């Protein structure tokens, strides 16, 4: 089949087809280029150096690629809706007097993924999401630590990591008291230890009672 | 006395379907392949080692068979499955307890998917060990790697659909790696510096939310049932076509052509 | 022992047992064929290159294979139900919590590397590395038949990656990782309360340089030290190899670009092994496991 396609064009010197048939059966014989009529001469300093046809070709390709590009951006943007229907990030967590000093309270862990820790000087709220890969760690009272079942990361009671693969401590959520004296926790406001945010207002609720 | 089968072969209906004679001749054997839209995936003749299962292990073909089985059982499962957090798990229970042959279809889908991952890996192992990616088959190996990746993604996206503890945690761990993507994830190197947030990064595209939730189920469902199979099909078409175009089954160069 | 039996017969673990047996069988098969081909002038496949007709000689093999596969699949599906656990509950993580089995190798790497390396960079390198194999393996021999003698480096590298780093880690992750992602031997019961001390230190601390000062600010010297360790790993091994082989035919034929690519990928594979060893080996000698080699404000390696 392919043997039929050999070059027998007149522009090829007579000895070449023989040499070619040994190397490759299909040869690309260059067709002599016609001088382009609509192209300005090389030494023409005019402003339309590009020529009408190549300009239209350039503009055509540019619009096509532009269309593809904008469509891609649009499709990507489509994946980010303007409104998210996720559970509210704020919740009330009862009166400060309900908590026992030194205890890690797990009352809201199931619903809100928050531990509320009562220390002598006050409260802090740890977000129960392992900073390694997002599993829910467990509070092990006997060993006085948080331990993640996914990859074995461990945290002290204050949330600082000390073992396993996790790169950083647990995050704290904003904890405040409202006008009725109830604890309010906002999970959307987070405090990260390694950024030095645990000293900021809201990361720790002073309470001595 | 003409047998009924022979009579049947003389009818116009039969002849309109099978366009060549029935006699066992080399010509009819060849026509059997070229006249059949499915079989003409194959060439008419192959080198003998292509039929030797010790050489090919048959893993590529088995992978394709499993893909077909998974497509069929998957479509059947779609009759009963609703991809919402409210119903997904209920529908699974329904399938497993109240639908006749429901468990069989679901089991075939699950075990077939596991088997396909295994056969795809073994296929790649064989192709490597026989050096079949070497010229002229380099590009088809690349297509094969893409298909390997698509197989993993198909299996992974299907993992979430039962909406049980196994699903949600495997997918939580899996998609949380995406938030650590360099540059594009909100916890990856240089991600926060480039303005990535939990609700605007590469992980969000997968989840449709800031955590694995109902929108994630829908996204994974569409990806699993429509998007990924479609892409995999396109790549499979190219893969099979290139096998033929690259000279059929690989084999040692003995100076003969394989097609 | 009962525990081992339970692990092996757990429905979702059956594919892994199957994978293990199949990989062992096929490795043995390929090895036997390669040895036989290497010992003779002409590979077996070259003796079988006469043409046969696809109908019936190939189609019947395919048909039989189809029947066997469907039979196995149907019997498997009739007798063993796919598991369906408790409904999804975001607040309760099962212990242990595992990725799909084919990703367990990557999940194992998550113990030794930060997620951006183990979960994103390494998988991407694996995929890209696989794709470029045909373009960097310029050895013309061994195309279309089993052999070992003619392409030792490529086969050893691939088998190390596939058999050791991929399949073995999957098996390890399935059968030897229990609650808290602690290590258990396959016949040991999974004790939820097993306590393993995992007090990791950064490599620079071995040399008296803590990676962070007491006020939690970064120690620039330790960071620079970590960078130097990694640079030294790549430059010394890579440089040594280049000096030794720069005049060999293979390196010349590859060209500097492709040679550097192969060397870089190979050293990265070795680096993964090195990091795992730095974590696992010190406790044997009474030292602390190494957590990071290189600590920076943006990422850690």
Tell whether A73 lies on the interface with B, counting CB pairs under 8 A: no
Q: pLDDT, tens digit, for every residue of A157-193? A: 988 888 878 888 999 999 998 888 889 999 888 888 8
Q: What is the pLDDT of residues A84-113, one digit of tens each?
A: 888 788 888 888 888 888 888 888 888 888
Element holding B46 (H helix, E strand): strand B45-47
Question: Which CATH number fits the domain that encloses residue A187?
Answer: 2.102.10.10
Bridge partner residues of A126 (DSSP): A115, A172
What is the distance between the alpha carbons of residues C136 and A110, in angstroms, rounded to a whole number? Answer: 53
Q: Could you read off the pLDDT of C251-261 as tens digits, one per residue?
A: 999 999 999 99
Nearest CA in chain A to C197: A163
The average pLDDT across C161-166 equals: 94
Q: Which residue has the higher pLDDT, A121 or C124?
A: C124
CA proximity to A27, closest of A38, A47, A11: A11
pLDDT at B181: 87
Average pLDDT rounded to a whole number, residues C144-172: 94
Which of the residue ranges A69-83, B226-240, C211-225 would you say has the lowest mean pLDDT? C211-225
**Measured between CB atoms, does C143 come within 8 Å of chain A?**
no
More confident residue, B82 or C92: B82
Q: Tell me the residues of chain C between 149 and 188 that have a Cβ less than 8 Å away from chain A.
A: 179-182
pLDDT value of position C198: 64
**What span, in angstroms and rounded, lies between the C-alpha atoms of C227 and C293?**
8
Q: How confident is residue C91, by pLDDT bands cut at 50, 70 and 90?
A: confident
How many other CB atoms are there within 10 angstroms of residue B211's CB atom? Answer: 19
Q: Taking CB atoms and an 8 Å limit, are A164 and C90 in contact across chains?
A: no
> What pLDDT is stored for residue C2 in this prediction?
77
Residue C262 lies in a domain: no
Cross-chain CB nearest to C182 (options A138, A142, A152) = A152
Strand runs (DSSP E) across A61-204, as ranges? Answer: 90-92, 104-105, 114-118, 122-127, 138-140, 145-147, 154-155, 161-163, 172-177, 183-191
Looking at the DSSP bridge assignments, the partners of residue A191 are A172
- CA atoms of B84 and B90, how far apart (whole Å): 10
Inform me whether the pLDDT recorded for C109 exceeds 80. yes
Q: Which two tokens stand for residue A116?
A: 């509320």
- Chain B residues lying within 8 Å of C298, measured CB to CB: 189-190, 193
Q: Which residues, at least 6 apart from B202, have a Cβ–Cβ distance to it below 8 Å?
A: B178, B179, B181, B184, B185, B196
- Decide if A150 and C199 are in contact by the 8 Å CB cutoff: no
List phi, psi (to 5°) of C199: -80, 95
Q: Check residue A37 and give its pLDDT.
A: 59
Domain membership flag for residue A40: no
Asked if residue C72 lies in contact with residue B111, where contact means CB atoms within 8 angstroms, the answer is no
Dihedral sign for Cα atoms in the order C105, C123, B174, C114: positive
Q: Is the pLDDT score of C232 beyond 80?
A: yes
Q: Tell which residue, A52, A54, A56, has the closest CA to residue A64.
A: A56
- Point out the residue among A79, A84, A133 whose CB comes nearest to the CB of B205: A79
Secondary structure of residue B56 in the 3-state scheme:
helix
**Owning domain of residue A137:** 90-206
Domain total in chain C: 1
In this predicted structure, the answer to whether residue A19 has a pLDDT above a threshold of 50 is no
pLDDT-derived band of residue C49, with 50, 70 and 90 as boundaries?
Answer: confident
Exposure string for A91-110, b = 16+ CB within 10 A, e = fewer:
bebeebeebeeeebbeebbe
Reported confidence tier of residue A16, pLDDT bands at 50, 70, 90:
very low
Neighbouring C-beta atoms of residue C55, cutoff 10 Å: 22
**% helix, strand, coil for chain A, step of 5:** 25, 20, 55
Give the mean model confidence (pLDDT) for residues C3-31.
91
Integer Cα distance of A198 and A174 in angstroms = 10
What mean pLDDT do residues C168-188 have?
86
What's the whole-number mean pLDDT along residues A143-163? 85
Residues C301 and C293 sit within 8 Å (Cβ to Cβ): yes
Residue B124 CB neighbours (<10 A): 22
CB < 8 Å from B in window 231-250 of C: none
A135 and chain C in contact, CB less than 8 A: yes
CA distance C172 to C3: 15
Q: Is A113 on the interface with C (CB under 8 A)?
A: yes
Q: Which residues of chain C make contact with B132, given a CB cutoff of 8 A?
A: 143-144
* C52/B51 touch (CB, cutoff 8 Å), yes or no: yes
In C143-291, beta strands by DSSP E:
none
CA–CA separation, C141 and C150 (whole Å):
6
Looking at residue C290, the DSSP 8-state letter turns out to be B
Exposed e or buried b per residue across A3-37, where buried means at least 16 C-beta atoms within 10 angstroms of its C-beta: eeeeeeeeeeeeeeeeebeeeeeebeeeeeeeeee
Q: Which pLDDT does position C92 carry in this prediction?
A: 80
Which residues fall within 8 angstroms of residue B105, CB to CB, at 6 or more apart? Answer: B73, B76, B77, B95
Predicted local confidence at residue A6, as pLDDT: 44
Tell me whether residue C187 is in a domain: yes
Considering only alpha carbons, which residue of chain B is nearest residue A167? Answer: B187
Q: Domain B53-245 adopts which CATH fold?
A: Cytochrome Bc1 Complex; Chain C (1.20.810)
B200 in contact with C, Cβ within 8 Å: no
Q: Is-contact A153 A132, C-beta < 8 A? A: yes
Say whether pLDDT at C227 is over 60: yes
- Does residue A144 contact residue A138 with C-beta atoms inside 8 Å? no
Average pLDDT along chain A: 79
**Inter-CA distances, A84 with A81, B207, B210, C36, C120, Å:** 7, 12, 9, 64, 27
Q: What pLDDT score does A45 carry?
A: 53
Domain count for chain A: 1
**Does residue C13 sit within a domain?**
yes
Confidence of residue C217 (pLDDT cuts 50, 70, 90): confident
Q: Which residues contact B167 (CB under 8 A, 6 or more apart)?
A: B159, B160, B161, C88
Assess whether pLDDT exceeds 80 at residue C180. no
User: Under 8 Å CB-to-CB from A73, ≥6 apart: which residues?
Assistant: none
CB contact, 8 Å: C208 with chain B? no
Q: What is the ipTM of this complex?
A: 0.93
First to last CA, chain A: 96
Instruction: Report the C-alpha gap between A169 and A162 in whole angstroms.
Output: 9
Task: Tell me the average pLDDT of chain C.
Answer: 89
Give just the sign of the alpha carbon dihedral B2, B6, B7, B11: negative
Beta carbons of A150 and B169 less than 8 Å apart: yes
pLDDT in tens, B223-249: 999 999 999 999 999 999 999 999 888
Q: What is the edge-to-edge ordering of all strands in the sheet holding A161-163?
A: A138-140, A145-147, A154-155, A161-163
The number of beta carbons lying within 10 Å of the beta carbon of residue A162 is 15
Phi, psi of A90 (to 5 degrees): -100, 140
Closest by CA to B128, choosing from C155, C195, C169, is C155
Shortest CA distance from C301: residue in chain A: A167
Q: What is the pLDDT of residue C114?
A: 86
Which pLDDT tens digit goes with each residue over C110-143?
888 888 898 889 999 999 999 999 999 999 999 9
Asked if C147's CB is within 8 angstroms of B131's CB, the reply is yes
Best C40, C133, C134 residue to mutate vs chain B (most B CBs within 10 Å): C134
Q: How far apart are CA A130 and CA C97, in angstroms?
A: 13
A162 contacts on C by Cβ (under 8 Å) = 199
DSSP structural state of residue C48 = T
* Contact check, Cβ <8 Å, B210/A84: yes
Does residue B100 sit at the C interface (CB-CB below 8 Å)? no
The first and second tokens of residue B97, run together, are: 């307890």
Q: How far apart are CA C36 and CA C43, in angstroms?
A: 8
pLDDT at position A36: 59
In A, which residues are within 8 Å of B205 by CB distance? 76, 79-80
CA distance B156 to C100: 7
Examine the pLDDT at C76 and tell me if it is beyond 90.
yes
Which parts of chain B have pLDDT scores under 50?
Answer: 259
Touching subunits of C (3+ CB pairs, under 8 Å) are: A, B
At residue B230, the pLDDT reads: 97
Residue pair A127/A172 in contact (Cβ under 8 Å)? The answer is: yes
Residue C30 counted as domain residue = yes
Contacts of A80 (CB under 8 A, 6+ apart): B199, B200, B204, B205
């Amino acid at each position: 089949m392919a043997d039929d396609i050999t070059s027998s064009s007149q522009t090829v010197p007579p000895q070449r087809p023989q040499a070619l048939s040994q190397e490759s059966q299909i040869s690309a014989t260059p067709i002599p280029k016609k001088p382009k009529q609509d192209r300005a001469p090389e030494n023409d300093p005019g402003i339309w150096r590009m020529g009408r046809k190549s300009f239209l070709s350039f503009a055509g390709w540019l619009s096509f690629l532009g269309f593809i590009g904008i469509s891609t951006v649009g499709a990507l943007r489509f994946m980010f809706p303007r409104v998210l229907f996720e559970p509210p990030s704020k919740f009330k967590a009862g009166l400060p007097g309900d908590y026992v000093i030194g205890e890690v309270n797990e009352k809201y862990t199931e619903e809100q993924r928050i531990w509320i820790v009562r220390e002598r000087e006050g409260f802090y709220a740890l977000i129960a999401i392992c900073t390694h890969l997002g599993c829910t760690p467990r509070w092990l009272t006997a060993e006085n630590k948080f331990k993640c079942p996914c990859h074995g990361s461990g945290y002290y009671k204050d949330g600082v990591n000390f073992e396993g693969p996790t790169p950083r401590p647990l995050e704290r959520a904003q904890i405040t008291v409202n006008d009725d004296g109830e604890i309010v926790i906002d999970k959307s406001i987070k405090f990260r230890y390694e950024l030095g945010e645990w000293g900021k207002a809201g990361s720790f609720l002073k309470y001595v009672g | 006395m003409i047998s009924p089968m022979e009579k049947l072969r003389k009818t116009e209906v039969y002849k309109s379907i099978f366009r060549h004679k029935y006699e066992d001749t080399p010509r009819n054997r060849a026509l059997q392949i070229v006249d059949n839209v499915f079989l003409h995936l194959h060439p008419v003749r192959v080198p003998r080692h292509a039929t030797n299962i010790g050489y090919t292990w048959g893993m590529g073909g088995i992978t394709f068979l499993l893909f077909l089985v998974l497509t069929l059982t998957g479509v059947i499962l779609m009759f009963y499955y609703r991809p919402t957090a409210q119903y997904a798990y209920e529908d699974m229970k329904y399938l497993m307890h109240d639908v006749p042959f429901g468990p069989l279809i679901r089991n075939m889908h699950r075990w077939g998917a596991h088997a396909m991952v295994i056969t795809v890996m073994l296929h790649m192992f064989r192709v490597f060990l026989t050096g079949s990616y070497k010229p002229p088959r380099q590009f088809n190996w690349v297509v094969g790697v893409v298909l390997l990746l698509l197989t993993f993604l198909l299996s992974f996206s299907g993992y979430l659909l039962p909406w049980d503890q196994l699903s949600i945690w495997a997918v939580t761990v899996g998609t949380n790696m995406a938030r650590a993507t360099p540059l594009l994830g909100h916890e990856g190197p240089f991600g926060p510096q480039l303005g990535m947030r939990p609700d605007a990064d590469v992980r969000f595209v997968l989840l449709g939310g800031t955590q694995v939730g109902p929108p994630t189920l829908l996204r994974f469902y569409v990806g699993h049932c429509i998007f990924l199979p479609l892409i995999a099909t396109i790549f499979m078409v190219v893969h099979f076509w290139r096998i033929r175009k690259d000279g059929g089954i690989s084999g040692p160069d003995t100076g003969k052509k394989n097609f | 022992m009962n525990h081992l039996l339970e692990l092996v017969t757990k429905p979702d673990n059956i594919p892994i047992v199957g994978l293990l047996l199949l990989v062992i069988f096929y490795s043995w098969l390929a090895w036997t064929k390669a040895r036989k081909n290497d010992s003779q002038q002409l590979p077996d496949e070259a003796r079988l290159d006469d043409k046969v007709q696809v109908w019936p000689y190939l189609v019947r093999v395919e048909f039989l294979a189809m029947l066997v596969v469907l039979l196995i699949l149907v019997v498997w599906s009739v007798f063993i139900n796919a598991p369906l656990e408790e409904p999804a509950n975001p607040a309760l993580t099962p212990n242990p919590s595992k990725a799909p089995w084919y990703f367990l190798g990557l999940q194992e790497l998550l113990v030794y590397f930060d997620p951006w390396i183990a979960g994103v960079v390494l998988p991407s390198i694996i995929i890209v590395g696989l794709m470029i194999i045909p373009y960097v393996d310029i050895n013309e021999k061994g195309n279309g038949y089993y052999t070992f003698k003619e392409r030792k480096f490529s086969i050893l590298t691939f088998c190390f990656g596939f058999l050791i780093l991929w399949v073995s880690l999957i098996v390890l992750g399935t059968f030897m990782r229990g609650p808290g992602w602690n290590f258990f031997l396959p016949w040991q019961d999974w004790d939820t309360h097993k306590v393993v001390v995992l007090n990791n230190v950064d490599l620079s601390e071995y040399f008296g340089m803590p990676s962070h000062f007491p006020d939690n600010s970064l120690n620039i010297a330790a960071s620079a030290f970590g960078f130097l360790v990694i640079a030294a790993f790549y430059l010394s091994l890579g440089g040594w190899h280049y000096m030794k082989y720069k005049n060999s035919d293979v390196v010349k034929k590859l060209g500097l670009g492709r040679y550097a690519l192969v060397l870089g990928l190979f050293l990265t594979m070795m680096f993964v092994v090195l990091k795992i060893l730095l974590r696992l080996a010190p406790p044997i000698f009474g030292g602390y496991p190494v957590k990071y080699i290189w600590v920076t404000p943006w990422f850690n390696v």
